[in-house]
């Protein structure tokens, strides 16, 4: 019957037409989506690279160097990583070719996307039913590292491809390769091949790398935490042999070189020992570098600068060794331990040769060596009492001063243990650290004159300090060990003021000198005053309160103590203990105390402990400096 057949044919034809229409619609949609993807690929990558071109300037760990040019340490990048960048010309050809052979052997032949590699990865992933290969080119890896995260999504891969293509248009192949070899993460917080070579092999000149070391480095990017030799020597060795096989197939090495390099045993290099106290010196150097250049500290940390300092490594080592000895410090309190800080200055040129802002300072800790927060006690007397009196010309070391209780309005200073001699020479009053003669002498000299004298030594007092209690070191704000050492360095330097500094020179990553310290000296007090003060301060160490500071060199100095009133305890307690002194070579200030002093955290030790710490640091430090 013809009708049913015709009806079936019509239905079939309609079905075919509908299918073709749907196929056409799908094709059109695919074309539209493809065009949109291409437009997105073209626009997104170009926009991202143009909008964030600063990402192409890699943050690089700045270097702090000691006075002999040797590195003290590198400044960690945000996230505690380290990068030392290298130009492509500084890298051996074999290292470059090894990375290309392992990571992207068609690098010089594609436009950012290795389609052959992508197809191979897709086939292998399909066969294994999992994402075991990425097929990313070196340019894609760089794009991901600079601009994206590591999420394995189609959208992220599209962005990665878009940026990679844009990078290829924006940069040359060698520029991309140089960025990649400096940006790539190499495990243990190291970024870039140069940082990794130094960390794992102790090699700072990349041209000195051996074949097996190059193979180790080229094998790390596949799994930085798995294949770096410091964390997993066996896995690293396995990976090294795979890389050597690739290098051999690509004709980069001979069969004999491959076999020899495959059996080399990894021996970790000796890491440079820089004690914890160097952290304080580095912090002070960064702050000073920022002040003298106007460059923010954060930029200084990550700009690849070289900051050459005045640190004497022998002095710093002696400082750290002494500060690590628990027996040299007061017992711990109930809630915290007694802290300490010390600064050593070369008073001949103003260089700060050593510094610590705590007993075990860490990155970001308070640097107590530079904080104006502590009462100096009697260590302030040479600065505010005896120095001004000598400079005035009205008094001499032999001048007789009254030593008996006086009342200055409501202020009634007392000697320790309320012991009075009736009268003392100025030299004896300083040696015995008597309080009554000091306050009397300050009143005779005049507060205004004394404050001006202290200012010439680098200590500017506030309006709240315009009272006689400053004779005993009772200051409104307090001072730092650095300022105390700076002030005493004028006595040690014959009356010449040389501003203390840590930074000698700053150069940028291109070797351009941005700053160089220019020595400056000015006479602020007479040589006579400085000489008489030194003579008096030497008697303090010879047979006075500073006797524990004696070493095998002439020492002049003064102790200082601030007491703590603990009502109802009957316990004698101290808040701060000091010794500030100098030898013919260096001036130093020592402070010991608790960050927060209270009924549970205080010291019963006196200033003799600070004087003893001065001796334990200065004797070996000077010995090291003379070697």
**238 tagged catalytic:** no
Question: What pLDDT was estimated at residue 1?
Answer: 46
Average pLDDT in the 94-113 region? 94
Residues with Cβ within 8 Å of 568's Cβ and at least 6 positions away in sequence, in order, are: none
For the ranges 25-29, 439-443, 605-609, the lowest mean pLDDT is seen at: 25-29
- Residue 131, pLDDT score: 47
User: In which band, very low, low, confident or very high, does the pLDDT at 498 lie, cut at 50, 70 and 90?
Assistant: very high
Cβ–Cβ < 8 Å for 436, 468: no
Between the CA atoms of 486, 490, 492 and 494, what dihedral angle is there, to the nearest 10 degrees? 160
Q: Which helix (H) or strand (E) holds 586?
A: strand 586-593
Q: What is the pLDDT of residue 41?
A: 67
Give backbone dihedrals phi and psi of 379, rounded to 5 degrees, phi first.
-65, -15
pLDDT at 54 over 50: yes
pLDDT band at 274 (very low <50, low <70, confident <90, very high): very low
pLDDT band at 183; cut points 50, 70, 90: very high
Choice among 338-342, 481-485, 564-568 with the minimum mean pLDDT: 564-568
Q: Which phi and psi angles does 503 have, rounded to 5°?
A: -100, 120
Question: Which of these ranges, 47-56, 96-105, 463-472, 608-617, has the smallest mean pLDDT?
Answer: 47-56
DSSP assignment of 236-270, as one string? HHHHHHHHHHHHHHTTSS-HHHHHHHHSPPP-PPP
pLDDT at 133 > cutoff 60: no
Reported as a single tens digit per residue, the pLDDT across 213-245 is 999 999 999 999 999 999 999 999 999 999 999
**Percent composition of the chain: helix, strand, coil (DSSP 3-state, to 5):** 50, 15, 35
Identify the active-site residue in 103, 250, 257, 563. Answer: 103
The answer to whether the beta carbons of residues 165 and 176 sit under 8 Å apart is no
User: Domains of the chain (ranges plus CATH)?
Assistant: 78-263 (1.10.3810.10), 278-371+478-561+576-592+605-626 (3.40.710.10), 381-469 (3.40.710.10)
In angstroms, the CA 69 to CA 255 distance is: 42
Of 407, 479, 399, 477, the C-alpha closest to 443 is 407
Q: How far is CA 266 from the centre of its chain?
A: 30
Of the pLDDT bands very low, low, confident and very high (cuts 50, 70, 90), residue 277 is: low
Q: How far apart are CA 159 and CA 143, in angstroms?
A: 9
- DSSP string covering 50-61: HHTGGGGS--B-
pLDDT digits (tens, 9 = 90+) for 141-179: 999 999 987 666 777 788 888 898 999 999 999 999 999
CA-based R_g, the chain, Å: 35
Q: Rounded to the nearest 10 degrees, what angle do helices 193-201 and 173-183 cross at?
A: 40
Highest mean pLDDT, choosing among 15-29, 64-78, 132-146, 264-278: 64-78
Percent of the chain scored above 90 by pLDDT? 74
Selection from 56-60, 138-142, 221-225, 588-592 with the highest mean pLDDT: 588-592
CA atoms within 13 A on the CB side of 309: 33
In the chain, count H helices and then E strands: 22, 16
pTM of the model: 0.87
592 token code pair: 């010991």
Alpha carbon separation from 509 to 77, 86, 128, 177 (Å, rounded): 15, 10, 47, 19
Q: How far apart are CA 493 and CA 197, in angstroms?
A: 46
Output the average pLDDT for the chain. 90
Rounded to the nearest angstrom, the gap between the alpha carbon of residue 264 and the centroid of all alpha carbons in its chain is: 35
Across 602-619, average pLDDT: 96
Spot the catalytic one: 62, 195, 378, 427. Answer: 378
Instruction: Please confirm, yes or no, whether 399 is among the known catalytic residues.
Output: no
- Token code pair at residue 581: 């002194």
């Amino acid at each position: 019957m013809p009708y049913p057949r015709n009806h079936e044919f019509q239905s079939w034809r309609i079905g075919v037409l509908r299918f073709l229409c749907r196929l056409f619609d799908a094709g059109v949609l695919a074309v539209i989506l493809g065009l949109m993807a291409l437009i997105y690929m073209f626009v997104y990558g170009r926009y991202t690279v143009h909008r964030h071109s600063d990402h192409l300037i890699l943050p690089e760990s700045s270097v702090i160097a000691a006075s002999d040019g040797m590195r003290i340490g590198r400044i960690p990048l945000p996230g505690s990583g380290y990068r030392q960048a290298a130009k492509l010309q500084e890298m051996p050809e074999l290292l470059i070719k090894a990375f290309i052979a392992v990571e992207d052997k068609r690098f010089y032949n594609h436009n950012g996307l290795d389609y052959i590699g992508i197809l191979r990865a897709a086939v292998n992933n399909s066969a294994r039913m999992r994402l075991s290969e990425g097929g990313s080119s070196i340019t894609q890896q760089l794009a991901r590292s600079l601009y994206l995260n590591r999420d394995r999504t189609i959208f992220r891969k599209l962005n990665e491809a878009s940026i990679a293509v844009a990078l290829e248009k924006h940069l040359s192949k060698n520029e991309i390769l140089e960025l990649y070899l400096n940006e790539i993460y190499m495990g243990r917080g190291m970024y870039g091949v140069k940082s990794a070579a130094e960390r794992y092999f102790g090699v700072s000149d990349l041209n000195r790398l051996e074949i097996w070391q190059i193979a180790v480095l080229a094998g790390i990017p596949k799994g930085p935490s798995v294949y770096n030799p410091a964390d997993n020597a066996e896995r690293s060795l396995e990976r090294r042999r795979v890389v050597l096989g690739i290098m051999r197939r690509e004709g980069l090495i001979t069969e004999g070189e491959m076999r020899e390099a495959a059996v080399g045993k990894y021996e970790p290099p000796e890491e440079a020992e820089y004690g914890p106290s160097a952290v304080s010196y580095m912090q002070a150097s960064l702050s000073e570098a920022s002040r003298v250049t106007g460059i923010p500290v954060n930029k200084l940390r990550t700009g690849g600068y070289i900051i050459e300092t005045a640190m004497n490594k022998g002095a710093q080592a002696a400082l750290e060794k002494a500060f690590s000895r628990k027996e040299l410090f007061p017992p711990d309190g109930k809630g915290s331990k007694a802290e300490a800080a010390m600064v050593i200055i070369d008073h001949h040129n103003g260089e700060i040769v050593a510094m610590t802002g705590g007993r075990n300072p860490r990155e970001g800790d308070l640097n107590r060596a530079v904080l104006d927060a502590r009462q100096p006690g009697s260590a302030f007397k040479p600065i505010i009492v005896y120095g001004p009196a000598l400079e005035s010309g009205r008094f001499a070391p032999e001048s007789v001063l009254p030593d008996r209780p006086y009342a200055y309005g409501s202020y009634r200073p007392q000697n320790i243990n309320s012991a009075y001699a009736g009268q003392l020479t100025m030299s004896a009053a300083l040696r015995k650290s008597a309080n009554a003669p000091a306050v009397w002498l300050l009143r005779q000299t005049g507060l205004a004159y004394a404050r001006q004298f202290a200012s010439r030594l680098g200590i500017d007092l506030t309006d709240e300090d315009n009272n006689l209690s400053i004779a005993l070191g009772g200051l409104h704000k307090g001072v730092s060990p650095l300022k105390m050492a700076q002030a005493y360095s004028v006595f040690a330097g014959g009356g010449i003021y040389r501003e203390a500094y840590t930074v000698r020179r700053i150069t940028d990553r291109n070797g351009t000198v941005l700053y160089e310290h220019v020595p400056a000296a000015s006479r602020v007090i007479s040589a006579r005053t400085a000489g008489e003060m030194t003579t008096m301060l030497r008697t303090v160490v010879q047979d006075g309160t500073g006797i524990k500071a004696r070493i095998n060199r002439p020492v002049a100095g003064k102790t200082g103590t601030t007491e703590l009133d603990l009502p109802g305890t009957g316990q004698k307690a101290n808040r701060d203990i000091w010794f500030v002194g100098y030898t013919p070579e260096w001036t130093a200030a020592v402070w010991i105390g608790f960050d927060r002093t209270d009924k549970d955290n205080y010291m019963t030790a006196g200033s003799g402990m600070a004087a003893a710490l001065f001796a334990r640091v200065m004797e070996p430090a000077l010995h090291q400096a003379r070697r």
